[in-house]
Structure 1
Amino acid sequence: MTLRQTPLRNAVALFALSALLFTGGCKRKRKTKSVENTDAYADSLKPLVAAKTMQGLRWPNFADYEPLVQTFYDDRNYEVAWIRDGKPTPTALQFIAAFKDAEHKGLNPEDFDATLWDGRIAKLAGKQDADIAAYDAAMTVNVMRYISDLRIGRVNPTHFNFDINTQEKKYDLPEFVSDEAVDATDVPKLIAGVEPDSEQYRQTETALAHYLDLAKKQAAMPDLQQPLPTVTKPVSVGGAYPAAGALGKRLELEGDYTAPPMSQTAGAPMPPNSANVNMQVYDQALSDGVKSYQDRHSLTADGKLTPATIASLNVPLTDRVIQLQDSLERWRWLPNEYVNAPLMVNLPEFVLRGFGEGHKLDFTMKVVVGKVVGEHQTPVFTHMMKYLIFRPYWNVPMSIVHKELAGHLDKSGVGYLASHNFEVTNGKGEVQSGFTAKQVEQGQLMVREKPGPKNSLGLVKFMFPNEYDIYLHSTPQPELFSRSRRDFSHGCVRVQQPMDLAVWVLKGQSDKDGDWDMDRVKAAMESGPDNHQVNLKQPIPIVIFYLTANVGEDGKTHFFDDIYGYDKQLQEVLAKGMPYPATQQKVNPKTVFGDTN
């Protein structure tokens, strides 16, 4: 080879290399850690992946996942992922088993083609490219759907105007599925890592499995499907109830009652009609069972058989299953930093819980929440508690000025405000003396209630600044905590033991005046300076949540009324099938001056 020939030979080599590149002879680098597989079915996969619908899926429209599926296959150069040597991989078979058992995760197995996989696998024996590609693409779509549904839930919570951000914990699905799922040897372990790391979540899953079993037992026993006859007035111990035997069976199904053993004299002759009489007696054992049931279903737990108790007992257990499924869905919405939040209010339960180290329960406390009617529902959201205010003012919202004060101003004049512990301020917070009712009613001036024991916010409020002006506070109406249903506020959350809560929130915090112990908190509330703000050195995550089913501190499953109708809304959305709403809607902030209470 002469020097004169070298440039020509180099040019030929360069041309050949270019031809290889343009004709696909050189593969792009794989972007996955998974074990290499064959790309022999790439031509069949590409049109499936590029489409936004895939015939043969239970929910063919996968447009919301199509870009992710395409990235998944692009990154692996269109190698198949879930088949080797013409057979499903062991990992694929584990996922299919998970799909078929999805109801125990609170999901719908048919969302993941549970009944279609056996047919798809059978078709693989024909070794047709189209069948192999269809199986692999369907597997990828369903694995992505399943992992996403377990990770962040099926429906974006903002669809319901819940101010919860699921986006921060979303996986890069193409990367996660390819790197972590495709070759997983223990799929159940992988799934457990996807779900919320919360003991409360896991307890709810266990409760769901139990109630799925109970619902099947109820469906198999016709006598347990018949509704119990209602009563016109409460039945007490010793009273008559014509379906006492059926009541006992219904209570026994959920574990609230154990039928007494047969009498040793059961074989002896019985007086005429005595069996009929005994079957109608509402005895102490039945009353105890009813009391246990009432306690678990947010009813007045007095052991009396009331119309409300019978109505609750007549709710099919399939409905209780749905409540547990809805609770699991909402747990999945929570950002990681709020899954084990130290403070959590459960609105339908009317309870606040506080958790300490290791997320061990420190206390439970009754609360009053927003009224069901009048657009006063307490919003569902997550936030950080940052400070307390002892002896606060209550800045009255214009909506309440118009609805509850304007009529008094028209009748009694502006003197009505001073006589009821209110004062009027300008935009700078300066108290005004000369003003008219018209200025107040038109919002030119603001009304606030002066601090003190009669203030609508009580003597302390716990602040996590948010666009709704929602917070926790004490109340001058402690009698409301004796009610079993406690939706009485204008939106804020009133707490039963504000002094104890303040000590808990301020635990370990001190300043030049010492620790914030019970004596100091009590003094600040009863005789300290007005509107005194104490900043928390460490903000506390708080969740204002909505669960109509959970496992209580007693280890029993508790159910609550769907007071705001959010379960109903969720079920209406899920009934329409995939793709579920994922577009984030703007949560409507509060735009008027004033504080809810």
Structure 2
Amino acid sequence: MKKIQLIIGSILLLALSFTSCKKDKDNVGADTETHDHAEKTIPLDTTQFGEFYNKYPDYKKYSSEISALYKKHPHYIWHEKRGLIEFAEALYNQVNQLGNDGLPSKVPYKNVLDDLFQDSGRGEKPNVQSELLISSMYFFWANKTLDGLPADKSRETGWYLPRERTDYVAYLDTLMKDPAKVKGDKEGMFNQYFALKKGLVKYRDIKKKGGWESITLPEGVKAIKEGDSGVAVTQLRARLAAEGYLKSDSKSNVFDSSLKDAVTLYEKNHFREFDGKVGPAIIKELNVSIDDRIKSITVNMERCRWVTPAINTQKEYIAVNIPSYRLRYVKDGKIDLISNVVVGKELNKTVVFSGNMSYLAFSPYWNIPKSIVEKEIKPGIAKNPNYLANHNMEYYNNGNIRQKPGGQNSLGKVKFMFPNSNNIYLHDTPAKSLFNQDDRAFSHGCVRVEKARELAIKITGKDGGWDAAKVDKAMNADKENTYALKNKIPVYITYFTAWADDNGNVAFFDDIYDRDNSLAGLLYN
């Protein structure tokens, strides 16, 4: 009997032992799962936010965005139990390289951030102060690199292109999924930004090597050309070599074919043809200091932040750059036409804005603005009673004046309309000789297009199957006739005084409306 009881007791003991082991095993699994969850989402005490802003008031400007961030993610973002996540360190490294983005490198509370990231922050327990410091650092970085100056400040510089503000909270989720974007998000920025960034590296390297010296023409010499010799030739050679237009500086004082080729390339990169002579205009450009060239690159990088990245993938659009006097028509994602343009003179600046081209007007009337009537037409009539007839003009609509269609119409034979409050549009012109000038700021504000006929043929051909003959007939009609586009074309009027190719080679253009210095002041102050 005792033997049977002993066996039963042993069985019960084994059963209890097994149950206990299973229970312990289940508990281990439950503890591990809870630990993994806690590792990912550590609760955050939001009641300490006010104390943080009192201690770091420069970051209070981001308080609403920080609140939105932790409302969406109500836990520590930058920390795990063992310390800072790797992406926090990557972001910190980018903040330390703001100068590479053409930005001032002064970061609020930099010394505190440096201490925080010492030894990568490993082993540090999560705390509200360090968490909010990194979030504030993120919003500071995003604000500077993605959006740049506030819209009201960009408008002070004459920039009226619509600006799209980035949702920094949503963008952080994007970066967390693809941390490599923190080094340069080509989907989130106008692609010219990255070309100029390469140029900034190049020109800073030129500065490290000593930059370049000025070129001085001998007294009484108006220009130098192939075959000439002298100190000015040596200076020109050294200057072009410094910027990379010559592979090396032979230090020869003779203006040889290699130097001619270098000047020709320089002129080509600035959308001009070399006439064989290096005169005061070219030398004035070449004598601009390396520091001013670097400044020009950085302010134009800032302008890139104001351009919608949607332009990178748009299949069709027209872009006019005022300082370079150039128009580009992009069709099917590729440049289909490049044309010289004439833009507004200093007193009638062409406005930086965008619109959607909706129709073309062939053989147009020119409804003369009242300001021009008062300043030019009425004084002309006072001197010559036949002024209107001589200029193919007439009265219409209660004393207003317009110029009738024809070869001498100031709008030429076609205008490209994108209705806007600035009353600016693209148009043809009978004054073709103006396109031969290097400086082409002559208009009353609208943009005169040298290849207006070619542009009209390309637009109507794609939109409605028109051929050149049909366009010519419309351009030479006795009365105005319009062509309504089936698909509107975005038009961007921009202002870039520096433009880089994909290799970082930069072309610089005169700041014809004197805007770079004011923008640099806003950017660095």
Alpha carbons 1:300, 1:484 under 8 Å: kept: no
CA distance in 2, matches of 1:381, 1:455: 26
CA distance in 1, matches of 2:135, 2:204: 29
Among 512, 518, 525, the residue aligned to 1:563: 512
CA distance in 1, matches of 2:91, 2:294: 23
**Alignment correspondent of 1:360:** 334
Question: TM-score normalised to the size of structure 2?
Answer: 0.83
- Tell me by how many angstroms 1:518 deviates: 0.6
Coordinate RMSD, CA, aligned: 3.0
SS at match of 1:507: helix
Distance change (3 Å), C-alpha of 1:64 and 1:379:
farther
Alpha carbons 2:354, 2:493 under 8 Å: kept: yes
Among 363, 370, 391, the residue aligned to 1:420: 391
What amino acid maps onto 1:379 in structure 2? V
Alpha carbons 1:426, 1:446 under 8 Å: kept: yes
Q: Can you list the C-alpha shifts for 1:144-178, whole angstroms capped at 9, x where unaligned?
A: 232233333333233434222224xx33323443x
Alpha carbons 2:195, 2:502 under 8 Å: kept: no
**Alignment correspondent of 2:150:** 155
What amino acid maps onto 1:296 in structure 2? N
Alpha carbons 2:413, 2:429 under 8 Å: kept: yes
Among 93, 98, 106, the residue aligned to 1:97: 93
- Tell me by how many angstroms 1:354 deviates: 1.0
CA distance in 1, matches of 2:327, 2:109: 40
Distance change (3 Å), C-alpha of 1:128 and 1:44:
farther
Among 219, 224, 228, the residue aligned to 1:235: 224
- Tell me by how many angstroms 1:191 deviates: 4.4
- Tell me by how many angstroms 1:503 deviates: 0.9
Indicate whether 1:523 and 2:473 are aligned. Answer: yes
What amino acid maps onto 1:315 in structure 2? V
**Alignment correspondent of 2:352:** 380
- Tell me by how many angstroms 1:228 deviates: 3.1
**Alignment correspondent of 1:477:** 431
SS at match of 1:196: coil
Alpha carbons 1:147, 1:194 under 8 Å: kept: no
- Tell me by how many angstroms 1:125 deviates: 8.3
What amino acid maps onto 2:136 in structure 1? V
Alpha carbons 1:228, 1:314 under 8 Å: kept: yes
CA distance in 2, matches of 1:336, 1:180: 16
SS at match of 1:137: helix
- Tell me by how many angstroms 1:136 deviates: 2.6
What amino acid maps onto 1:304 in structure 2? K
SS at match of 1:286: helix
Q: Can you list the C-alpha shifts for 1:508-533, whole angstroms capped at 9, x where unaligned?
A: 333xxxx411111011112x241101
Q: Can you list the C-alpha shifts for 1:436-489, whole angstroms capped at 9, x where unaligned?
A: xxxxxxxxx211011100000000000001111111100001111111111111
CA distance in 1, matches of 2:270, 2:108: 33
Among 322, 325, 345, the residue aligned to 1:371: 345
What amino acid maps onto 1:365 in structure 2? S
**Alignment correspondent of 1:36:** 41
- Tell me by how many angstroms 1:143 deviates: 1.1
Q: Can you list the C-alpha shifts for 1:87-133, whole angstroms capped at 9, x where unaligned?
A: 3320011111112223333333335776763233249689698xx54
- 1:173-572 maps to which residues of 2 (within 5 A)? 173-177=168-172, 179-181=173-175, 183-184=176-177, 186-188=179-181, 191-192=184-185, 195-196=188-189, 198=191, 200-217=192-209, 221=210, 224-231=211-218, 232-259=221-248, 279-297=252-270, 301-339=274-312, 340=314, 342-357=317-332, 359-372=333-346, 374=347, 376-413=348-385, 415-426=386-397, 445-510=399-464, 515-526=465-476, 528-551=477-500, 556-572=505-521
Distance change (3 Å), C-alpha of 1:193 and 1:364:
closer
Distance change (3 Å), C-alpha of 1:152 and 1:521:
same
**Alignment correspondent of 1:65:** 62
Q: Can you list the C-alpha shifts for 1:197-252, whole angstroms capped at 9, x where unaligned?
A: 53x443333333322322332xxx3xx45433344511122223315434323211
Q: Can you list the C-alpha shifts for 1:27-67, whole angstroms capped at 9, x where unaligned?
A: xxxxxxx941242x655444224x5x825xxxx2x454221
- Tell me by how many angstroms 1:296 deviates: 3.1
**Alignment correspondent of 1:579:** none
**Alignment correspondent of 1:146:** 141
Alpha carbons 1:355, 1:363 under 8 Å: kept: yes
Alpha carbons 2:212, 2:242 under 8 Å: kept: no
What amino acid maps onto 2:215 in structure 1? L
CA distance in 2, matches of 1:298, 1:112: 43
Distance change (3 Å), C-alpha of 1:192 and 1:256:
same
Count matched residues: 480
SS at match of 2:488: strand
More displaced stretch, 294-303 vs 344-353: 294-303
CA distance in 2, matches of 1:403, 1:119: 66
CA distance in 2, matches of 1:228, 1:114: 43
Alpha carbons 1:350, 1:367 under 8 Å: kept: yes
What amino acid maps onto 1:331 in structure 2? C
Q: Which runs of 5+ in 1 are unaligned?
A: 1-33, 262-277, 428-444, 577-597
Question: TM-score normalised to the size of structure 1?
Answer: 0.73
- Tell me by how many angstroms 1:85 deviates: 3.7
Q: Which runs of 5+ in 2 are unaligned?
A: 1-38
CA distance in 2, matches of 1:116, 1:522: 69
Alpha carbons 1:245, 1:280 under 8 Å: kept: yes
